[in-house]
Chains A and B, each alone.
Chain A
């Protein structure tokens, strides 16, 4: 019963525990389950970062061919995580601030914080500086879908808003209402 790591076609290195069938079963023992949940959270975050996935839905388990297939299923051992179990894991992640329900007021899908909003804020600010767009008014679209692909490409608007609001608290961003939506202007770090 030697478990080994496995590299998926997308180049992700799956942990050895992913090859153990019990990993896909919710454990009644709370201690064991806590460990299992922690491993699942870590796996989800790592995979999300690897594939730059932001939204995890319970439905991703039920339909094959989703972005999360490589971790939610293990065809080599004929196991998949059950929706209820995934939902519990999602709940645990939300509780640990590793994810947030997106949209709010439901529990079927989460926005995975493989970077925390504060980290995203820093990433955003660094990107603005590196691209020399300080004091320039940018639309959200300019940020999420820049001509040159960045770390922020594809970031959900809600997460972007959070990052911008974090920056605005330190006076580094300013939200401006423009004709066709919202714009943001990044300011230099106040000394």
Chain B
């Protein structure tokens, strides 16, 4: 009968979890069920529990679990029907069974549990762990090459073909399999690849060289084999359809859920291959259970595919990790801001302490130490804030802001006085220059700030505050032409005019170019300054265009500067 052909007994005293393969999952459990063998009630299995897993269907008898329980591979089930029940008849699930049944019976436990051994792959010497489902255990988990010396998986149609091609020695214990063991000699010979003609090992499913499918050709032989060969006589052979079905009767409900789980389990075909990629591949062949293959899991291509998969997984992990890093970077911005705020508070605290030094002497001692500690901690964290630009939101009011900006600008121009001497930053823009154009200052300052750039309008407002924070004082000066500069005292109008007059008095008339060389300033700047000096009557000009010989237009008009000879001149010519 169907039950005898398709199921094998199980020790139901063992908890169901222990019966499962490592890659098998328990989906549903329903008690108070009875089993129909064909259309007749199976008297031995009338009260028990049904477990539906990804691979199998278990029946654990509640009275005599040790002897009456059985398991059945889902791969046999070709079709299912659901009967909702009527009056006194219980809801039932009908499983139509197909495929080559297990040979003869329930005493084949030895072969069944051979899968639970660990084994070493002949090809790559990988030690495969025990407890995998028959399909998974048939193939090396690392290299995908089928296990050669494996005992036949008696509850799997897929492995059935393999088992027939295995050496008989591996199955010597299984006397019942003897009739199917004789094999055509060709199966032991190398299989020529249809694409590249490489002679592959007969157990390989795809060519070792080109990975093309090798199974097609042998498959035809397999298909014809069962019909041409005698198999174990079975009393049920030739029975009608009822012989090939089994019913599960749900005496106390739960049929709908169980049926849904069963359908799902059948659909996913977990027994054909564990990884999702292979299920879809084998799904093509699902109509013919005989044709189920393990796809391209074998050979070099299989290894490559495994490597590829693991690389893909690693890449995904890496991307996740980098995402974390990016999130951290976003947070770092907040951290820097926090550090800047902290520094600002410290600066404020340090600034206020000296003013009331008389009242809080102890405070004055402790505070800078703490401040220094916190600052050094911040700098160790890479949050160097000595040159953090001052922004308006750090300040209480606009006036303080301008003041702070002026202090910052003074640092840019003259170098910060409190920073280390060997630091390059200490030398400001005006360290070696007494006068500097405003646009250059503005550009340099904003470059030093880096962020929160100062608009020109604010810049101009800061300039008047600059004198308070600079030593020597730096002042702003606007020339008649509109050129604006910052200058140190030696470059004020009066100082320059005096210096220029002295220079001209000693060394005679000079051109603008010669003066700019003497002053180490740009010609344009010197021109502006001389013009200013001339406006004040400090110098006078001698235009070479008034020369008698040479000069005039077109010969490079040149102005030479003289001290103002007209000042204090007394007539010394003829008076009458």
B501-530 interface (Cβ within 8 A of A): 505, 508-509
B546 lies within 8 A of chain A by Cβ: yes
Say whether B547 contacts A78, CB under 8 Å.
Answer: yes
Would A42 and B571 be within 8 Å (CB), given that A21-B509, A36-B566 are in contact? yes
A1 and B505 form a contact (CB under 8 A): yes
Instruction: Tell me the residues in window 540-555 of chain B with beta carbons closer than 8 Å to chain A beta carbons.
Output: 540-543, 545-551
Asked if A23 lies at the interface with its beta carbon under 8 angstroms from chain B, I say yes
- Cβ of B573 and Cβ of A46 under 8 Å apart? yes
CB contacts between A and B, total, < 8 Å: 101
Min CB distance, A39 to chain B, in Å?
7
Q: Which residues of B contact A47 (CB under 8 A)?
A: 574
Q: Which of B509, B535, B560, B566 contacts A17 (CB 8 A)?
A: B566
For A16, the chain B residues whose CB sits under 8 A away are 572-573
Instruction: Assess the B573–A14 pair: CB atoms within 8 A.
Output: yes
A20 at the interface (CB under 8 A from B): yes
| Alpha-carbon separation in the docked complex, A12 to B571 (Å) | 14
Asked if A22 and B549 make an inter-chain contact with CB atoms under 8 angstroms apart, the answer reads no
A75 close to B (CB within 8 Å): yes
**Pair B573/A18 contact, Cβ less than 8 Å:** yes
Is A28 in the interface zone, CB < 8 Å from B? yes
Tell me which of B505, B565, B574 contacts A46 (CB under 8 A): B574
Q: Whole-angstrom distance between the alpha carbons of A46 and B574 in the complex?
A: 7
Cα distance, A25 to B571, chains bound together (Å): 19
Q: Judge whether A43 and B573 touch: CB under 8 Å.
A: yes
**Number of A residues contacting the other chain (C-beta, 8 Å)?**
39
What 1/0 flags go to A27-52 for Cβ under 8 Å of B? 11101100110010011001101100
B562 touches A (CB below 8 Å)? yes
Asked if A22 contacts B569 (CB within 8 A), the reply is no
Q: Could you tell me if A39 and B576 are in contact, using CB atoms closer than 8 angstroms?
A: no
Tell me if B540 and A78 are in contact (CB < 8 A).
Answer: no
A27-B540, A50-B574 known; A22 vs B565 contact (CB < 8 Å): yes
Question: Roughly how many angstroms separate A69 CA and B320 CA in the complex, as a whole number?
Answer: 96
A39-B546 contact in complex given A22-B540, A49-B576, C-beta closer than 8 Å = no
A3 lies within 8 A of B565 (CB) = yes
Q: How far is the CA of A26 from the CA of B548 in the complex (A)?
A: 15
B539 to chain A, nearest CB (A): 9
B537 touches A31 (CB 8 A): yes
Contact across chains for B562 and A46 when beta carbons are under 8 A apart:
no
- Which B residues lie within 8 Å of A14 (CB)? 573-574
- Distance (whole angstroms) from the CB of B30 to the closest CB of chain A: 113
Q: Looking at the assembled complex, report how far the CB atom of B451 sits from the nearest CB atom of chain A, in whole angstroms.
A: 46
| Bound-state Cα–Cα, A82 to B548, Å | 10
A80 at the interface (CB under 8 A from B): yes
Is A27's CB under 8 angstroms from B565's CB? no
Partner of B562, one of A15, A20, A75: A20
Cβ of B571: which chain A residues have Cβ within 8 Å of it? Answer: 15, 39, 42
Please name all residues of chain A whose beta carbon is closer than 8 Å to the beta carbon of B574 when the two chains form the complex: 12-15, 46-47, 50
Given A17-B566, A22-B541, the answer on whether A79 and B573 have CB atoms closer than 8 Å is no
A80:B548 contact, CB within 8 angstroms: yes
Q: Are A79 and B505 in contact (CB under 8 A)?
A: no
Beyond A35-B567, A42-B571, is A25–B505 a contact (Cβ under 8 Å)?
no
C-alpha gap A124/B551 in the complex (Å): 46
Bound complex: CA A26 to CA B572 (Å): 21
A21, A27, A36, A78: which contacts B549 (Cβ < 8 A)? A78
CB pair A82–B537 under 8 Å, yes or no, is no
B566-A25 in contact (CB<8A): no
**Most chain B Cβ neighbours within 10 Å, of A13, A22, A75, A82:** A22
With both beta carbons as reference points, the residue of chain A lying nearest to B575 in the complex is identified as A46
Most buried by A among B541, B548, B564, B566: B566
Could you say which residues of chain B place their CB within 8 Å of the CB of A1? Answer: 505, 508-509
User: B100 near A: Cβ within 8 Å?
Assistant: no
CB contact under 8 A between A25 and B546, given known A31-B537, A32-B564: yes
Alpha-carbon separation in the docked complex, A25 to B490 (Å): 30
Closest to B561 in A: A22
> A22 → chain B, closest Cβ, in Å?
4
Q: Is there a chain A Cβ closer than 8 Å to B534's Cβ? A: yes
Q: Within the assembled complex, what's the spacing in Å between the Cα atoms of A5 and B571?
A: 10
Residues of B within 8 A of A13 (CB): 573-574
The yes or no answer to A24 lying at the interface (CB within 8 A) is: yes
Listed by A's residue number, 22 A-B pairs whose Cβ atoms lie within 8 Å are A1-B505, A1-B509, A5-B572, A13-B574, A14-B574, A21-B542, A22-B541, A25-B546, A27-B566, A29-B535, A32-B537, A32-B564, A35-B566, A36-B540, A46-B573, A46-B575, A47-B574, A49-B576, A79-B542, A79-B546, A79-B547, A79-B548
The chain B residues found within 8 Å of chain A, CB to CB, are: 505, 508-509, 534-537, 540-543, 545-551, 560, 562, 564-567, 569, 571-576
Given contacts A20-B565, A25-B541, A78-B548, 13 further A-B contacts (CB under 8 A): A18-B573, A25-B540, A25-B542, A29-B536, A29-B540, A32-B540, A39-B569, A39-B571, A42-B573, A75-B548, A80-B547, A81-B546, A85-B546
